[in-house]
Amino acid sequence: MVAILLIFLSGSIGYYIIFGGTEKFIDCVYMTVISLTSVGYGEVFKISGNITAQVFTMVLITFGMGIILYALSSLTALLIEGELRGILRKNKMKKQINKIKNHYIVCGGGRTGTPLLEELIKSGEEVVLIELDTKKLDSFNKIDGLLSVEGDATDDQNLMDAGIEKAAGILITLPSDKDNLFVTMSARMLNKKIRIITRMNDQKLEAKMKKAGANSVVSPDSIGAMRMASEILRPTVVNFLDTMLRSKQGVLRIHELNVSDHSTLAGKKISESGLKDKFELLILGLKENNQDIIFNPLSSHILETDTKLIVLGKVADIARLKSL
């Protein structure tokens, strides 16, 4: 649109200058329009016999028509092919990401990233996906509640667009260990407090990943081996956990909660906290002052500030308790 405007403006000013300002500017604009649109109404002022005006008109029509046709075809493609819709969607997504905080960023929507996204969404968390593959991104955008950034996670700008400075955690699941290491370093530089979980294929890189800033490193092969061992040694326990994850009674999860300074639970006994009666949550354990985990604590145990509770219950009930 700007190109079209510039062509008409250039043609009008060109005629005005060639005729030394003796012609009205509106006539120069009119001459430009009928020349470029090939209407053929005839000359508004005497161009035949004026070599400069003739050459200028030929150049204007040749290049002007080319630019106009290109601009119109680009504008048509923008509207018909859905690019405009994509631009509007990206702008809307960016505004939504700017509004959230304490969310989780997932880098890569591959074999590891897909089930990871599903679990985070089920757990009621706000999630932003960074994915370079447009086709994958289109399928992920159908998931309710999922925000996304199209681009390479190794680019710091994409991490910032995903709100890394306000995020609670980032999960890096790119196929390449080198890319995972690079993103880990970038994430730690952009947010000193963020929790970073990194995927690792080569076990030898664990020390480097942690030195680069990862809080925890996960190997899919190692996790898969542990699962296979559990299936053969303790199948009933595995079945119990699988049933819990897919329970028809609601989305059940084991979750971690922190008793903050302003929490109404601080200073109360477990029996007085209402965790079982009001929230239907089962306390499996707790951890105080970085000490060892206390499993199945007594109902008379007093909940101190900064105690981390490990509870089992529905995601909706856990979310209600989080607000306290």
Cα 275 from Cα 268, distance rounded (Å) = 11
For 46-60, the pLDDT digits (tens) are: 888 888 888 888 888
Tell me which fold the domain 250-322 belongs to.
Alpha-Beta Plaits (3.30.70)
Q: Identify the pLDDT of residue 251.
A: 74
Cα 313 from Cα 296, distance rounded (Å) = 15
Q: Output the CA–CA distances (angstroms, integers) from residue 160 to 121, 148, 178, in the order listed.
A: 21, 12, 20
Residues 6+ apart with CB under 8 A from 78: 84
Judged against a pLDDT cut of 70, whether residue 216 lies above it is answered with yes
Q: For residue 71, give the 3-state DSSP assignment.
A: helix
Task: Tokens for 6, please give them.
Answer: 């510039």
177 pLDDT band (50/70/90 cuts)? very high
Question: Across 28-37, 182-191, 235-244, 298-307, which has the greatest mean pLDDT?
Answer: 182-191
Cα 116 from Cα 83, distance rounded (Å) = 29
Q: Identify the pLDDT of residue 20.
A: 84
Considering the domain 2-80 in this protein, what is its CATH number? 1.10.287.70
Judged against a pLDDT cut of 70, whether residue 211 lies above it is answered with yes
Q: Output the CA–CA distances (angstroms, integers) from residue 227 to 171, 201, 250, in the order listed.
A: 21, 17, 24
> Is pLDDT larger for residue 33 or for residue 217?
217
Task: Tokens for 114, please give them.
Answer: 């897909």
Judged against a pLDDT cut of 80, whether residue 84 lies above it is answered with no
Indicate the residue type of 146. L
Beta strand pairing status for 169-172 and 252-258?
unpaired
Q: For residue 216, give the 3-state DSSP assignment.
A: strand
Cα 203 from Cα 208, distance rounded (Å) = 10
Considering the domain 101-224 in this protein, what is its CATH number? 3.40.50.720
- On the question of a common fold for 2-80 and 250-322, the answer reads no
Q: Tell me the Cα Rg of the chain.
A: 32
Q: How far apart are the first and last CA of the chain?
A: 54
248 pLDDT band (50/70/90 cuts)? low
Cα 147 from Cα 308, distance rounded (Å) = 29
Indicate the residue type of 139. S
Give the residue from 311, 316, 286, 290 showing the smallest Cα distance to 301: 286
Return the number of other C-beta atoms located less than 10 Å from residue 37's C-beta. 12
Task: Tokens for 98, please give them.
Answer: 């700017």
Q: Which residue has the tokens 């996790």?
A: 223
Burial category of 223 from C-beta neighbours within 10 Å (exposed 0-12, middle 13-18, buried 19 and up): exposed
Q: Output the CA–CA distances (angstroms, integers) from residue 135 to 50, 108, 162, 172, in the order listed.
A: 58, 13, 19, 20
4 pLDDT band (50/70/90 cuts)? confident
pTM, 2 dp: 0.64
Stretch 214-221: mean pLDDT: 92
165 secondary structure, DSSP code: T
Judged against a pLDDT cut of 70, whether residue 255 lies above it is answered with yes
73 pLDDT band (50/70/90 cuts)? confident
Domain ranges of the chain: 2-80, 101-224, 250-322
Q: Which residue has the tokens 């923008």?
A: 78
* Burial call 83-122: b when 16+ CB within 10 Å, e when fewer: eeeeeeeeeebeeebeeeeebbbbbbbeebbbebbeebee
Cα 321 from Cα 310, distance rounded (Å) = 12
| Beta bridge partners of residue 252, listed in sequence order | 314
Work out the mean pLDDT of the chain and round it to a whole number. 88
Beta strand pairing status for 127-131 and 146-150?
parallel
